[in-house]
Amino acid sequence: MTLVMGIVNVTPDSFSDGGRYLDPDVAVAHARSLRAQGADLLDVGGESTRPGAERVAPRVEQQRVLPVVAALASEGVFVSIDTMNASTAVAAVDAGARLVNDVSGGLADPDMLAAVADVHVDIVLGHWRGPSSEMYARADYSDVGREVAAELRERVAAAVAAGIDPSRIVVDPGIGFGKRGAQNWETLRALPSIGASGYRTLVGTSRKRFLAETLGDEDADLTRRDLATAVTSALAARAGAWAVRVHDVPTTRDALAVARAWGA
């Protein structure tokens, strides 16, 4: 059964909820709400990866996320740390995180893969072609699905070479990262071949610009984006996704339940 990963952005500048949960107590309360709504795991992040975002110093990132990770882990919550910094990953694992979600696939910090190998937790390797400040500079593909799959295999090989057990690896095709509108749909259509590698797949479409573009309204409100997210998440589940990463847990859970009933 596909898991639902709830998003907890402890940031001032994330594109849809920046600043709302910057206070650790507010972030923890929001995370508890997501869990009560049915999130199977919670992804805590202290650095925005929206297009154009600038990097955040690891010290600042850790000040934001570690109190939240520790509080949730103490309650028995399955916590993921959304970070591209090895030092933050290790500190979050020490605080109780059980999964490292690196959207850069270990490319942003050369110490990341070895660090995760040393702490023996699972890792999500995202498809990435450069930092958010130049998100679309390398969005040039001949066959985006094939190239994403090939580049993810390279990241998996690097992770295994660094000492990470293959059973601990999850791959993420990086929807919205270094991909323009239609390229995201092509990547989603390639999910069966990406998942054919045998690794678990995480898919995150939540509230992303390409959904609003598809709806014909780049200013589409969050309700419309969340509905589109739920549909793509249900389709990702049908394509074999291990987990979907979302802001709106109840709508996605409903969509997954309907998709399961249809396929039963």
Selected catalytic residue, list 208, 209, 224, 225: 208
Selected catalytic residue, list 64, 155, 245, 253: 245
129 is catalytic: no
CB 152, CB 144: distance < 8 Å: no
225 is catalytic: no
CB 119, CB 93: distance < 8 Å: yes
Q: Among all residues, which ones are annotated catalytic?
A: 208, 245
